[in-house]
Amino acid sequence: MKFCSNCGSGQITLQIPPGDNRERFVCPACQTIHYQNPNIVAGCLPVWEDKVLLCRRAIEPAHGLWNVPSGYLENGESVADGARREVWEEAAARVKIDYLISLYNLPKINQIYLQFVGELVDGAFGVGEESLETALFTEADIPWKEMAFTSSVFTLKRYFEDRRTGVKRLHRADYPAV
Amino acid sequence: MKFCSNCGSGQITLQIPPGDNRERFVCPACQTIHYQNPNIVAGCLPVWEDKVLLCRRAIEPAHGLWNVPSGYLENGESVADGARREVWEEAAARVKIDYLISLYNLPKINQIYLQFVGELVDGAFGVGEESLETALFTEADIPWKEMAFTSSVFTLKRYFEDRRTGVKRLHRADYPAV
């Protein structure tokens, strides 16, 4: 942050405000404190019969690699809203949310992944603008070596385990766990 | 947002960037897109024997009302890190995180609450700077009419239900559900 978004001053400083215990960007001209906080990445693993739907990314980072449909949660959305939207945008598919399967922390890059499992409505899907292709995979066919992010590997592994045990539950981990 | 935090231009406009589908604050001078996204509020309900620890807020909003220790997740933290820090800051207590009990969405104010249940280490607690007082309550003694936020009422109700059923699980809801 170089300029104050409230008053335009170029004198922004990094300091600990009174009553706080962390350095913040503070504007000495108008006293605004500019907080910066982690972002939520919301996603959903769409399931259809014994298969799961993955998307091959048409955008950076990880262009060309496979992923569980996910993206930044937007203002005005619940986490489930965001997950459903991402499935629509990346795979032109509608899902019925089943359960939250993973809370995956990437504190070094200030991202918190929250991924659900959901059922594909009618089994229909397409290819969204942010995807090169989309496809249903059985567990044996998952392209493990061409996955975009550890968060998605974590979610996929936990999903297949949950399916074997019959227990649908939330799993928590920090990067780089898979 | 009135000024660009990157170049200081006062010509910030609200527009849909190419390839996007939402209005963003965009700087026509340096092309920076200023994304705004929801914040995570991380918290933990500390448990000791048959009681839970609540804090009476010394800060606005909801000054003077009771709450489950919670606050904005900071950059560099996992959600559990943030929850433990909030318990320390508000109640001078250490907790051993047990499970994530609630995901509570407030989409109109761009907040997502993630609250855990945790056990008080050694049963010790004090009064943090942001609290007027802290106290252990049995279920019968919870000050339901003096609670600060619906998110905490939701978490408390689910906690006592979970304790009765013996099933520790994540509950999801949107404001104003309790």
Give pLDDT tens digits for B90-146.
Answer: 999 999 999 999 999 999 999 999 999 999 999 999 999 999 999 999 999 999 999
Name chain A contacts of B172, Cβ cutoff 8 Å: 79-80, 100
Give pLDDT tens digits for B80-95.
Answer: 999 999 999 999 999 9
Pairwise CB contact (< 8 Å): B39 & A36: no
For residue B19, the model assigns a pLDDT of: 86
B interface test, pick of A6, A105, A106, A131 with most B CB neighbours within 10 Å:
A105
Q: Domains for chain A: give ranges and CATH numbers.
A: 1-36 (2.20.70.10), 39-174 (3.90.79.10)
Query: What percent of chain B lies above the pLDDT cut of 90?
Result: 99
Using CB atoms, which residue from A5, A34, A40 is nearest to B40? A40
B81 touches chain A (CB under 8 A): yes
Amino acid at A120: L
B19 touches chain A (CB under 8 A): yes
Give pLDDT tens digits for A115-132.
Answer: 999 999 999 999 999 999
Where chain A has pLDDT below 50, the residues are none
Cβ–Cβ < 8 Å for B32, B26:
yes
Name chain A contacts of B168, Cβ cutoff 8 Å: none
B interface test, pick of A27, A37, A115, A158 with most B CB neighbours within 10 Å:
A37
Give pLDDT tens digits for A74-99.
Answer: 999 999 999 999 999 999 999 999 99
CA gap A118, A133 in Å, rounded: 20
Name chain B contacts of A22, Cβ cutoff 8 Å: 74
CA gap A42, A81 in Å, rounded: 9
